[in-house]
Amino acid sequence: MPNPSGSADQGTLPFIGLDDELSALRDDVARLRAENARLLRLLELTPQQARPPGPIQTGVFDGEPGPVHAGSPATAKVAFFANLFAARPDVYALRWENTRTGRAGWVPAVRGGWRKGVPAAEREYLPLTEEVITAHLSGELELGLYPLLDGDRCHWLAADFDGPVAMLDARSPT
């Protein structure tokens, strides 16, 4: 009958050193709890505010996105991106920048390019297609998405806070 790994017949006892390992793990847990408490105080967060999101926030996909990696085909990456960042399919935004004034912003993509003074009814908005997503993922264009879907649904939200007061801006109630 074969002996399990670590049996006394093989010259080792399976539980030697476990007390030391358990003590070290308890020290690590105590150290991590103290660090968490310090960070909560630093960020001025209550335990309620710092708690992990509930399961309601984890199921945001209509379909399984599936694993995508660097070696995945481009079509799989585009499908993953489109599923992960669900957005309006009938319109997307493009970034503009005026190098003379330093101003920049976003405008809806329209056939013939955005021109000031053209009435909204006369604009032909360009749809979000696989080709547009591919161009974005390959760095050919800066793509902006409209995340508010039919039925006032939204699958994701992104915010960008920069500068030395970014944490204060992010925590601002207004």
Instruction: Assign 6 a pLDDT band (cuts: 50, 70, 90).
Output: very low
- Rounded CA-CA distance 18/14 in Å is 9
Span 142-154, average pLDDT: 90
Closest among 112, 80, 78 to 94, alpha carbons compared: 112
For residue 62, is pLDDT > 80? no
Contact of 3 with 10, CB cutoff 8 Å: yes
- Rounded CA-CA distance 120/52 in Å is 43
- Rounded CA-CA distance 170/157 in Å is 13
Write the CB contacts of 130 (distance below 8 Å, at least 6 apart in sequence): 75, 78, 82
Give the model confidence (pLDDT) of 88-137 as tens digits. Answer: 999 999 999 999 999 999 999 999 998 888 988 899 999 999 999 999 99
Say how many CA atoms lie within 13 Å of 147 toward its Cβ.
10
Output 117 or 50, whichever has higher pLDDT: 117
- Rounded CA-CA distance 91/101 in Å is 27
